[in-house]
């Protein structure tokens, strides 16, 4: 209390200055301003012209130093959000707790944030585990550097002078391929447990080694992730799965003991012997698409990651005597509900996932009018991609996948021919109907229900 009061009275920064930053010239780091996106350069130039400090900061500087193309650009500035907003016509203030400004320029959006003070657990509002709940005090550039997570993320690039302002030896750490926490790792994980997941993701993505001091506490502090709001975990999981290095990230998560019990999805992905090949193929596929800059959909990825869980649950229900179709829908809900507590899969994504799953048994029916209805489904393409993945994993014959591709792209005559061609076991609906005619009425219900053929 007294220290807090003194700090207020003397207006001392929460974290006192430790050293002057190194100003690293372009000859030593090699990043030319032309390598930045035009929008990032423009935003810095406009703010600097108005007399503010403005730097490209965070992931973009780090990635350029490593030689990877930046995903997006963040700018840190001494201007307040309102001053930033006033400087750019196409901009808007977002966030209530801590305002940042999105500046639109051409097709790009640059995230501009005002220098923020680091908040130690003493001065900040925290939950009962020490997690910082508010992080919304403006500060100096130095304080802004200190509140960032890793040294390699606290580098400020000035496009005007092409220099890097480096408060925490981040450039040296990148050269030594080390991911080092700023400050005491245990304290920083307690303030924000998501930093453990960020450590694993960034190390895997960038080929860095987590410094032992930052790595060692993870195993023991992992359970703190349980207190992180589900929506935030979901965002972080998406970043991890769409990093272009998802397999490596997940292996490393397992290596650090972060997968158990924390996120049910991870238990499922990493511990299922049955679906391992399927999941691995799906992750490899996703990594490849991300690296080629192709679109990726969370719904599709999650549907693959959880598919064998659905199959297992569905089989159990059928073995217990449930009817096939309602059993499938119940299994889908159960599997998604099991994730919901920890991982806030949004309703829209859950809808996509279910559409993809629900299409799978329908691919078994290759007779009558049914195939025409299947190819008109809005999620047909995703459902077919999923089917192909199942074939690649050895779950079903590839012939079915080719048949559907052929059918979807064929003209009317060819389609009729394909319907006649499909092997008899691919047309259970027709078969059952024929059989039903000869059977007593009482068995009709079961036969009709059985038309939803199992995919396995
Ligand atoms: P990428 O964008 O490649 O995922 P990034 O490091 O840029 O990586 P962002 O989430 O865009 O990640 O964050 C931008 C910057 O904000 C980081 O580089 C880091 O300086 C800071 N930052 C982000 N998350 C945290 C956190 N949990 N704790 C402290 N600083 C953070
Ligand atoms: Mg970023």
Instruction: Name the residue at shortest CA distance from atom 11 of ligand 1.
Output: 59
pLDDT at 276 over 90: no
Mutate to test the pocket of ligand 1, among 58, 70, 184 (most ligand atoms within 8 A of CB): 58
| In the predicted structure, residue 264 carries a pLDDT above the cut 80 | no
Instruction: Name the residues annotated as catalytic.
Output: 72, 74, 149
Average pLDDT, stretch 1-25? Answer: 57
The pLDDT, as a whole number, for residue 453 is 33
- How many Å from the N-terminal Cα to the C-terminal Cα in the chain? 65
Order of strands across the sheet that contains 100-105: 22-24, 163-166, 155-158, 54-57, 74-77, 108-114, 100-105, 91-94
Q: Phi first, then psi: what are they for 364, rounded to 5°? A: -75, -20
Contact partners, residue 145, CB within 8 Å, separation at least 6: 21, 154, 156, 167, 168, 182
Looking at domain 298-432, its CATH architecture is Orthogonal Bundle (1.10)
Enumerate the domain spans of the chain. Answer: 13-228, 298-432
pLDDT at residue 440 above 60?
A: no
CATH class of segment(s) 13-228:
alpha beta
Question: pLDDT value at position 448?
Answer: 30
Q: Which pLDDT band holds residue 11 (cuts at 50, 70, 90)?
A: very low
CA 91 to chain centre: 26
Q: How much distance in Å is there from the Cα of 301 to the middle of ligand 2?
A: 22
Ligand nearest to the CA of 239: 1
Encoding tokens for residue 227?
């207190």
Tell me the pLDDT tens digit for each residue of 96-141: 777 899 999 999 999 999 999 876 656 677 777 777 776 668 889 9
| pLDDT tens per residue, range 203-242 | 999 999 999 999 999 999 998 988 888 888 888 888 999 9
pLDDT above 70 covers what percent of the chain? 83
Q: Which of 62, 74, 76 to mutate to test the pocket of ligand 1 (most atoms within 8 A of CB)?
A: 74
Q: Which two tokens stand for residue 218?
A: 């993870």
pLDDT single digits (tens) 150-172:
999 999 999 999 999 999 999 99
CB 296 within 8 A of CB 289: yes
For ligand 2, a single-atom ion, the residues with CB < 5 A are 59
Give me the chain's average pLDDT, please: 85
Rg (C-alpha) for the chain, rounded Å, is 27
Q: For residue range 320-377, list pLDDT tens digits in order.
A: 999 988 999 999 999 988 877 666 778 888 999 999 999 999 999 999 999 999 999 9
Ligand 1 pocket list (CB less than 6 A): 58-59, 71, 74, 148-149, 153-154, 192, 194-195, 198, 239
Mean pLDDT of 385-392: 95
pLDDT of residue 121: 54
């Amino acid at each position: 209390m007294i220290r807090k009061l003194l700090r207020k009275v003397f207006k001392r920064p929460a974290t006192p200055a430790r050293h002057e930053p190194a100003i690293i010239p372009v000859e030593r780091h090699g990043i030319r301003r032309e390598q930045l996106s035009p929008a990032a350069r423009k935003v810095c130039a406009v703010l600097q012209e108005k007399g503010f400090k403005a730097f490209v900061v965070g992931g973009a500087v780090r990635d350029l130093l490593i030689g990877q193309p930046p995903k997006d650009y963040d700018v840190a500035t001494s201007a307040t959000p309102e001053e930033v907003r006033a400087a750019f016509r196409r901009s808007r203030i977002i966030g209530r707790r801590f305002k940042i400004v999105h500046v639109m320029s051409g097709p790009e959006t640059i995230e501009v944030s005002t220098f923020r003070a680091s908040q130690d657990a003493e001065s900040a509002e925290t939950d009962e585990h020490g997690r910082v709940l508010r992080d919304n005090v403006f500060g100096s550039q130095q304080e802004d550097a200190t509140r960032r997570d890793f040294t390699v993320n606290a580098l400020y690039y000035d496009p005007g002078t092409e220099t890097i302002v480096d408060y925490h030896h981040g450039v040296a750490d990148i050269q030594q391929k080390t991911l080092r926490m700023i400050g005491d790792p245990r304290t920083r994980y307690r303030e924000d447990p998501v930093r453990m997941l960020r450590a694993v993701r960034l190390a895997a993505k960038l080929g860095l080694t987590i410094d032992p001091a930052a790595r060692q506490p993870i195993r023991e502090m992992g359970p703190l992730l349980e207190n992180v709001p589900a929506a935030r975990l979901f965002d972080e999981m998406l970043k991890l799965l769409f990093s272009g290095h998802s397999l490596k990230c997940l292996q490393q998560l397992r290596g650090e003991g972060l997968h158990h019990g924390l996120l049910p999805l991870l238990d499922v992905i990493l511990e299922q012997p049955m679906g391992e090949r399927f999941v691995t193929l799906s992750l490899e596929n996703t990594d490849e698409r991300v690296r080629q800059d192709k679109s990726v959909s969370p719904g599709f990825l999650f549907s693959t990651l959880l598919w064998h869980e659905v199959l297992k649950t569905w089989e159990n229900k059928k073995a217990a005597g449930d009817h096939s179709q309602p059993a499938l829908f119940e299994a889908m809900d159960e599997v998604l509900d099991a994730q919901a507590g920890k991982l806030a899969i949004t309703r829209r994504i859950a809808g996509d996932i279910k559409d993809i799953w629900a299409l799978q048994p329908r691919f078994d029916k290759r007779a009558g009018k049914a195939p025409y209805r299947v190819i008109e489904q809005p999620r047909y393409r995703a459902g077919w991609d999923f089917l192909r993945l199942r074939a690649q994993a050895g779950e079903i014959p590839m012939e079915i996948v080719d048949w559907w591709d052929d059918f979807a792209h064929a003209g009317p005559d060819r389609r009729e021919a394909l319907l006649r061609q499909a092997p008899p076991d691919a047309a259970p609906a027709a078969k059952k109907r024929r059989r039903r005619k000869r059977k007593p009425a009482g068995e009709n219900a079961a036969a009709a229900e059985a038309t939803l053929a199992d995919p396995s």
